[in-house]
Homo-oligomer: A and B are copies of this chain.
Amino acid sequence: MGNPCYECPLPVAIPPEKPFLESVKLGIKETLFPDDPFRQFKNQPASRKFILGMQYFVPILEWAPRYTFELFKADLIAGITIASLAVPQGISYASLASLPPIIGLYSSFVPPLVYAMLGSSKDLAVGTVAVASLLISSMLGKEVNPNENAKLYVQLAFTATFFSGVFQAALGFLRLGFIVDFLSHATIVGFMGGAATVVCLQQLKGILGLVRFSHGTDLVSVMRSVFSQTHQWRWESGVLGCCFLFFLVLTRYVIGNLKKGLNPVSVSELAFGSPYLGTAIKTGIITGVIALAEGVAVGRSFAMFKNYHIDGNKEMIAFGMMNIAGSCTSCYLTTGPFSRTAVNFNAGCKTAGSNIVMAAAVMVTLLFLTPLFHYVPVVVLSSIIIAAMLGLIDYEAAIGLWKVDKCDFVVCMSAYIGVVFGSVETGLIIAVTISLLRMLLSVARPRTFLLGNIPNSMIFRSIDQYPVANNVPGVLILQIDTPIYFANANYLRERISRWIYEEEEKLKSTGGSSLQYVILDLSAVGSTDTSGISMLEEVKKNIDRRGLKLVLANPRSEVIKKLGKSKFQNHLGKKWIYLTVGEAVAACNFNLRASKSNNQVADELDAHNNV
């Protein structure tokens, strides 16, 4: 109990040197395989390894042999429930993507089958999503008019879906799933809200029964479009929209013909030779990332409810494969939509089998029931979309952001405003840029804290946070808050020299005992680079020149290793590096007392001599 005395402090350990290749291997493992996905393969015979491997890459092989009638009953009910949601949603979202409605139905058939085989979530229901649909329409629509050149537009949508799939699968294979993490919670809240607002605005076309409409998605062009043709507003349609489904049968504006039959093969439709290939690739990558972010987040959330684990990178491969397969069978971009997954979960699904049931139900619809949808009015589709979208505008989350973190709120609002007044990409790019800049700024401008001693303890804490903490006379204790890198080394050097200057000025004005030691608490400095080491050397020179002494406390393994290699440790002297701030202060105090008593001896000698 209690810290060891400062005369016999525990030395700061330099961790044992690892061979270069081993440390590179460990670094790669921690960076790319943080969840250690192959831990179950260890110490297994080869045959078992093969089976585990197959089950790892095709999870249906794991759960299908254990599938029971009980599980099937639960999945059947859940599957039929989500199929009943999938059909109107599929048609609505396809029209949002300016695609023929039947493609929305096709997209609820093949991709869920692929996901059921490869996906690791038990709750995720596969389908198209509104935001990605809107993005496709706004990005491809800029290049090709879906009304005038419908065939090319559909081909480009398939091509974009293909590249989404390739990109998603590649991210998964390369274990680069963390790219999705750069869409922060705040960005997604703002972006979804903005996209939902834009989607709702787009529905004014259907609700008001307008024929011509803006191709832009921003508030200004939609409003101009709406109010420039007030004489064309169809009031019967508006009333119908406001009363939603009540007057379903009274109207005659229908969605058009739906062909009977299953998905046609569309490999030949992939427009790799088109002059718009670049646009298709760009659309594919952007929509792919957004769809991935939603799907992975949804899968993770529900996995957490039921306490099982999802491998994000494996999910990405499943999403990628499902979209590649989809693009070859007349489907457009699919992912795991929140609404459909929530319904699936509430309906009591047990395995990915519910996706197979849904696919079967959609197949039956495609084979026999499509003519019935001939008479669904456009205004009903608009109403369905608006109802789904309103749930995405999560103003409570935005209020929470404001309360907890003003900067996150700014990110969220800029995503919202960017989407509503600019375009979907603008909002996204602004929000991601602000988030990254904020993170870079926090690294480039780390905070330094003045530490004080908490009374009756050997604990040292920031005086800002703990006003009870006391200064130690003659000693300035500073804590650095982040890793020291090239981006903040200059700043820290200037800030530390300002701390010293200010402390000396203060002591001068109050007449306190003069400054003798500067202790840098490096507990929070997880790593550093050569610029950081040079910075410490310059700080040492500067402190030496002022006649003070630099003392380091608790350098971490990365830092002490580099200090040792750069010879800084020898310049400083090992005895000036301590394990804790407490020990460093005790050593300083001991030296201060020693020099004081020496001075006293000298004074007494002087006095003696003068006598």
Contacts and interface: CB of A to CB of B under 8 A. Distances in A.
Interface of A: 1-4, 10, 13, 15-16, 20, 30-31, 34-36, 178, 181-187, 300, 304, 307, 309, 312, 400-401, 403-408, 435-436, 438-447, 454, 456-459, 461-462, 464-468, 481-483, 485-491, 494-495, 497-498, 523-524, 526-527, 529-531, 533-534, 538, 541-542, 545, 556-557, 560, 562, 565-566, 579-580
A3 B526 CA distance: 25
Contacts of A403: 565-566
Residue with the highest number of chain B CB atoms closer than 10 Å, among A307, A490, A530, A566: A530
A495 B439 CA distance: 21
B481 A447 contact: no
A453 to B, nearest CB: 11
B490 A3 contact: no
A34 B498 contact: yes
A34 B491 contact: yes
A489 B442 CA distance: 16
B304 A462 contact: no
B485 A439 contact: yes
Nearest to A462: B557
A526 to B, nearest CB: 4
Given A13-B465, A443-B439, A181 B488 contact: yes
A498 B34 CA distance: 8
Contact of A185 (B304, B447, B486, B545): B486
A435 to B, nearest CB: 6
A120 to B, nearest CB: 14
B487 A405 contact: no
Contact of A490 (B312, B400, B541): B312
Contact of A444 (B10, B178, B482, B483): B178
A491 B435 CA distance: 17
A494 B34 contact: yes
22 contacts: A13-B468, A30-B445, A35-B495, A181-B487, A181-B490, A183-B486, A184-B531, A186-B531, A187-B486, A304-B541, A309-B497, A400-B530, A403-B566, A404-B533, A404-B562, A404-B565, A405-B529, A405-B533, A408-B529, A442-B483, A442-B527, A461-B579
A405 B568 CA distance: 14
Given A185-B531, A446-B526, A447-B527, 7 more contacts: A3-B458, A178-B444, A312-B490, A404-B533, A405-B530, A465-B560, A523-B523
Contacts of A495: 34-35
**Which 7 pairs from chain A and chain B are nearest by CB?**
A184-B486, A481-B526, A2-B2, A524-B524, A465-B557, A185-B531, A15-B465
How many copies of the polypeptide does the oligomer hold? 2
A183 to B, nearest CB: 8
A3 B562 contact: no
Contact of A498 (B2, B35, B491, B531): B35
A62 to B, nearest CB: 19
A31 B407 CA distance: 15
Given A185-B531, A485-B439, A457 B408 contact: no
A407 B31 CA distance: 15
Nearest to A558: B447
Contacts of A30: 445, 447
A580 B461 CA distance: 10
Contact of A445 (B34, B523, B542): B34
A486 B529 contact: no
B457 A4 contact: yes
Contacts of A465: 13, 15, 556-557, 560
Nearest to A486: B184
A312 B488 CA distance: 14
Contact of A494 (B13, B35, B490, B542): B35
B530 A447 contact: no
Contacts of A13: 465-468
B530 A401 contact: yes
A540 to B, nearest CB: 12
Contact of A10 (B182, B440, B457, B531): B457
Nearest to A409: B530
Contacts of A408: 529-531
A490 B178 contact: yes
A464 B534 contact: no
Contact of A441 (B31, B304, B312): B31
A524 B490 CA distance: 21
Given A445-B31, A524-B523, A489 B3 contact: no
Contacts of A467: 13, 16
A181 B457 contact: no
Contact of A542 (B16, B304, B468): B304
Contacts of A447: 30, 526-527
Contacts of A488: 181
